[in-house]
């Protein structure tokens, strides 16, 4: 199977949205869409599943909470209990109110950082990563839709030309 | 066009006849252009102040904190005043980017980038003070729960000072990733526009290879929303915990339950004032008046007015509660604040923080750029004095009258404070010339809803 794709360029987000809907209705497969800013409703129009990254954040937050409880219980109660200012630290439950601020901070710390790291990993973003957008204008004002060619190049191009595109390119995708 | 509907009553957030490409050009212009003479003058002054600060810090560390004006009664003074002042300023950025995102306030998009930059730079200044105050800075890692040569002598998790370490480091690091994640598409825009190979390489590195795929945008928006949800309680917790440094002590004037909300309101108040100070200059110098409009400044002035009034209520509540409590020590602490030897600092605090924001009730004044700028400076002077009054007046009259004393700063105290202001402006001025100072991707996403041209088109049609 060839990796040939047709790249149709648009200069307006509304035209792009209509084009995406038309292409999907005509049963062509949209490989990717590159936009310079978040176009609301585009993921739904393309049929992308919802992202589960918020769920991971919740789980990371739970890990942070459990970790902070474990850490403070170990350090303050088990390993070296002390009597600080007449407030002895001999049981976790009695000391717990003083631990609440750090329990909260650690929850946020874990949830935020691990979620962002997950996002960077899943979306393949890190320093020295080469950008893969098909055209430098896609970060400025150009919207690009990539449609997979399945032995129907001429027909596909003819179809895309009617969707308000300003430029069409056929390339081999590696 | 109907999907971009916005009520006609809302004023445009992007003025003029802008297209998507114009936004890129306008945001990239300060980065691609050359610095003018004014920038170099400002930068040189800031750098000099910064160097003076470094000198003062080196002198402090080399000799000991005895070179400060502290004495055995007043053990906390300018250092902690400056710390709380800078942390407070650092609250507006996250408030603008997180709280206003949750409330779906589109006007945050013109200002959030610079406000967050300001947050990060000012929290860096804040963090310096507790570290220098330790005296032996080379032992600064003792605040972290690390295994050490004493076997397992851990940090004291019951102490609000340790809560502060966790709160501020969480706040700084989370603000930083929040900021950076938002920067990726904008760095990518600069990368793809760059002509010189060096610039292309640097912005390519900073943009982490951002390409703007639909799935990336979907995740980007979800991550922004969740980070906003996390950062909102975080930002409120940070100044709450800073206030715990005082509120959990047994010093009259500090030991009050009103401190957390009162400190948070004060932080937002001073933070918005600093945003106004910086952006009023930046919008002019970097030609960004189309994106940071008069309306933005007016809205920030309204926030300043409201939080200033909350702070005013807190001051009066404190006085009332001191009287109502029947505790002599508490009553004396407040009487001494208002009428004692530091009456002038109290008066300055009251007039700058409670009186001056009330001018913002007048539309004419809150839409005046010059007036907003003056008030923003006045507010920050007032907020510095608020912390000074809380800290020094509560300490200088000890339980033991034989220990009563006054505090006067030495040139080192002043040098370090001026130095942090210099450091802050060095960072901000560098930022203004190298970073996309407006979240251009987000601004583009509201162009059709809130841009002047599109609003006119739509409202004229009555579709």
* String of DSSP letters for A44-62: HHHTPPPP-HHHHHHHHHH
pLDDT > 70? residue A43: yes
Residues of chain B below pLDDT 50 = 1, 463
Strands A4-10 and A83-84: unpaired
Burial label, B313 (beta-carbon count in 10 A; 0-12, 13-18, 19+): middle
Compute, in degrees rounded to 10, the torsion defined by CA atoms A98, A101, A105, A108: 120
pLDDT value of residue A2: 60
Question: Is the CB of residue A126 less than 8 Å from the CB of residue A132?
Answer: no
Residue A161's pLDDT band, with cuts at 50, 70 and 90, is confident
pLDDT value of residue B151: 65
Best residue of A125, A126, A135 to probe chain B, by most B CBs closer than 10 Å: A125
Chain B closest-CA separation from residue A164 CA (Å): 16
One-character DSSP codes across A98-144: HHHHHHHHHHHHHHHHHHHHHHHHHTT--TTPPP--SSGGGGTT-EE
CA-closest candidate to residue B429, choices B87, B91, B41: B41
Task: Please list, in sequence order, all residues whose beta carbon lies within 8 angstroms of the beta carbon of residue B460, skipping any fewer than 6 positions away.
Answer: none
CA distance B127 to B131: 7
Burial label, A44 (beta-carbon count in 10 A; 0-12, 13-18, 19+): exposed
pLDDT value of residue B154: 86
Q: Where are the domains of chain A?
A: 4-50+137-172, 53-122
Q: Which residues pair with B213 in a beta bridge?
A: A34
pLDDT value of residue B463: 45
Chain B closest-CA separation from residue A70 CA (Å): 13
Q: Average pLDDT in the A1-16 region?
A: 85
Burial label, A74 (beta-carbon count in 10 A; 0-12, 13-18, 19+): middle
Question: Is the CB of residue B242 less than 8 Å from the CB of residue B249?
Answer: no
Chain B closest-CA separation from residue A92 CA (Å): 12
Best residue of A54, A123, A145 to probe chain B, by most B CBs closer than 10 Å: A123
Question: Is the CB of residue B129 less than 8 Å from the CB of residue B154?
Answer: no
pLDDT value of residue B150: 65
Pull the structure tokens for residue B425: 């402006």
* Residue B245 near chain A (CB below 8 Å): no
Strands A4-10 and A143-148: antiparallel
Residue among A37, A95, A140 minimizing CB distance to B445: A37
CA distance B195 to B271: 37
Across the A/B interface, how many CB contacts are shorter than 8 Å? 212
Query: Which residues in chain B touch residue A88, judged by CB atoms under 8 angstroms apart?
Result: none
* Residue A146 near chain B (CB below 8 Å): no
- Report helix, strand or coil for A167: strand
Best residue of A5, A21, A36 to probe chain B, by most B CBs closer than 10 Å: A36
Chain A closest-CA separation from residue B193 CA (Å): 7
Place of tokens 């906003």: B228
Range A4-50+137-172: architecture per CATH: 2-Layer Sandwich (3.30)
pLDDT value of residue A174: 66
One-character DSSP codes across B220-231: HHHHHHHHHHHH
Gyration radius of chain B over CA positions: 23
* Assembly ipTM: 0.93
Neighbouring C-alpha atoms within 13 Å toward the C-beta of B186? 26
Best residue of A34, A139, A143 to probe chain B, by most B CBs closer than 10 Å: A139
Question: Is the CB of residue B302 less than 8 Å from the CB of residue B354?
Answer: no
CB contact under 8 Å between B174 and A109, yes or no, is: yes
Instruction: Please provide residue B79's backbone torsions phi and psi, each rounded to the nearest 5 degrees.
Output: -55, -50
pLDDT value of residue B34: 87
Residue among B21, B174, B225 minimizing CB distance to A112: B174
Neighbouring C-alpha atoms within 13 Å toward the C-beta of A89? 24
Cα B278 to chain centroid distance, Å, stands at 11
- Surface of B (313-372) touching A: CB under 8 A: none
The Cα-based distances of B374 to A88, B232, B351 in angstroms read 52, 29, 14
pLDDT value of residue B16: 86
CB contact under 8 Å between B192 and A43, yes or no, is: no
Strands A83-84 and A87-88: antiparallel
pLDDT value of residue B1: 47
By C-alpha distance, the chain B residue nearest A30 is B214
- Sign of the C-alpha dihedral, residues B117, B160, B308, B393? negative
Pull the structure tokens for residue B252: 């009259």
pLDDT value of residue B142: 86
Place of tokens 């006609």: B8
Gyration radius of chain A over CA positions: 26
Residue among A43, A126, A136 minimizing CB distance to B214: A43
Residue among B19, B185, B220 minimizing CB distance to A141: B19
- Sign of the C-alpha dihedral, residues B433, B100, B424, B135? negative
pLDDT > 50? residue A46: yes
By C-alpha distance, the chain A residue nearest B239 is A101
CB contact under 8 Å between B167 and A71, yes or no, is: no
Alpha helix locations (H) across B286-400?
A: 294-325, 328-339, 343-350, 363-366, 369-388, 394-396
Please give the residue that has the higher pLDDT: either B8 or A23: A23
First to last CA, chain B: 9
* Residue B161 near chain A (CB below 8 Å): no
By C-alpha distance, the chain B residue nearest A130 is B209
- Report helix, strand or coil for B151: strand
Q: Return the H-helix or E-strand segment holding A147.
A: strand A143-148
In chain B the domains, ranked by start, together with CATH numbers, are 2-146+153-455 (1.20.1630.10)
- Report helix, strand or coil for A162: coil
């Amino acid at each position: 199977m060839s990796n040939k794709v047709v790249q149709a360029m648009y200069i307006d987000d509304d035209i792009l949205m209509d084009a995406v809907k038309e292409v999907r209705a005509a049963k062509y497969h949209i490989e990717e869409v590159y936009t310079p800013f978040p176009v609301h409703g585009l993921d739904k129009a393309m049929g992308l599943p919802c992202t589960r990254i918020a769920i991971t954040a919740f789980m990371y937050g739970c890990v942070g909470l459990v970790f902070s409880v474990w850490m403070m219980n170990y350090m303050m109660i088990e390993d070296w209990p002390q009597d600080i200012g007449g407030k002895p630290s001999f049981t976790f439950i009695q000391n717990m109110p003083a631990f609440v601020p750090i329990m909260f901070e650690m929850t946020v710390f874990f949830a935020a950082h691990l979620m962002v790291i997950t996002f960077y990993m899943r979306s393949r973003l890190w320093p020295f990563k080469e950008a893969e957008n098909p055209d430098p204008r896609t970060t400025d004002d150009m919207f690009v839709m990539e449609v997979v060619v399945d032995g129907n190049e001429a027909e596909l191009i003819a179809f895309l030309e009617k969707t308000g595109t300003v430029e069409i390119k056929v390339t081999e995708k590696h | 066009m109907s999907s971009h509907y916005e009520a006609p009553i809302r004023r445009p957030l992007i003025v003029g006849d802008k297209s998507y490409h114009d936004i890129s050009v306008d945001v990239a212009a300060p980065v691609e252009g050359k610095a003018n003479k004014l920038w170099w003058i400002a930068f040189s002054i800031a750098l000099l102040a910064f160097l003076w600060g470094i000198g003062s810090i080196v002198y402090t560390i080399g000799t000991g904190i005895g070179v400060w004006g502290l004495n055995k009664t007043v053990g906390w003074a300018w250092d902690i005043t400056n710390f709380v002042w800078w942390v407070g300023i650092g609250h507006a950025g996250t408030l603008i980017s997180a709280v206003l995102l949750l409330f779906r306030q589109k006007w945050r998009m013109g200002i959030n980038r610079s406000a967050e930059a300001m947050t990060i730079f000012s929290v860096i200044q804040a963090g310096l003070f507790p570290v220098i105050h330790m005296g032996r800075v080379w032992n600064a890692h003792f605040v972290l729960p690390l295994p050490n040569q004493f076997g397992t002598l851990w940090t004291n998790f019951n102490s609000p000072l340790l809560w502060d370490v966790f709160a501020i480091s969480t706040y700084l690091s989370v603000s930083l990733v929040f900021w950076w994640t938002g920067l990726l598409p904008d760095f990518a825009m600069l990368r793809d526009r760059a002509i010189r190979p060096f610039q292309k390489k640097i912005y390519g590195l900073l943009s982490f290879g951002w390409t703007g795929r639909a799935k990336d945008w979907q995740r980007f928006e979800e991550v922004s929303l969740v980070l906003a949800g996390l950062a909102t309680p975080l930002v409120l917790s940070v100044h709450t915990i800073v206030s715990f440094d005082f509120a959990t002590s047994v010093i009259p004037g500090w030991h009050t339950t009103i401190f957390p909300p009162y400190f948070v309101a004060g932080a937002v108040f001073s933070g918005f004032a600093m945003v106004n100070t910086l952006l009023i200059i930046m919008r002019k110098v970097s030609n960004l008046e189309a994106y940071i409009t008069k309306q933005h400044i007016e809205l920030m002035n309204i926030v300043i007015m409201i939080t200033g009034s909350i702070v005013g209520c807190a001051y009066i509540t404190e006085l009332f509660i001191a009287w109502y409590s029947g505790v002599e020590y508490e009553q004396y602490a407040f009487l001494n604040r208002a009428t004692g030897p530091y009456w002038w600092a109290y008066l300055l605090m009251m007039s700058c923080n409670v009186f001056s924001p009330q001018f913002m009730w007048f539309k004419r004044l809150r839409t005046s750029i010059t007036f907003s700028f003056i008030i923003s400076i006045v507010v920050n002077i007032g907020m510095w004095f608020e912390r000074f009054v809380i800290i020094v007046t509560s300490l200088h009259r000890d339980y033991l009258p034989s220990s009563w004393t006054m505090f006067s700063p030495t040139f080192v105290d002043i040098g370090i404070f001026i130095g942090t202001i210099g450091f802050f402006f060095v960072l901000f001025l560098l930022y203004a010339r190298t970073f996309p100072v407006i979240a251009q991707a987000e601004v583009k996403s509201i162009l059709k809803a809130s841009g002047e041209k599109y609003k006119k088109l739509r409202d004229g049609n009555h579709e």
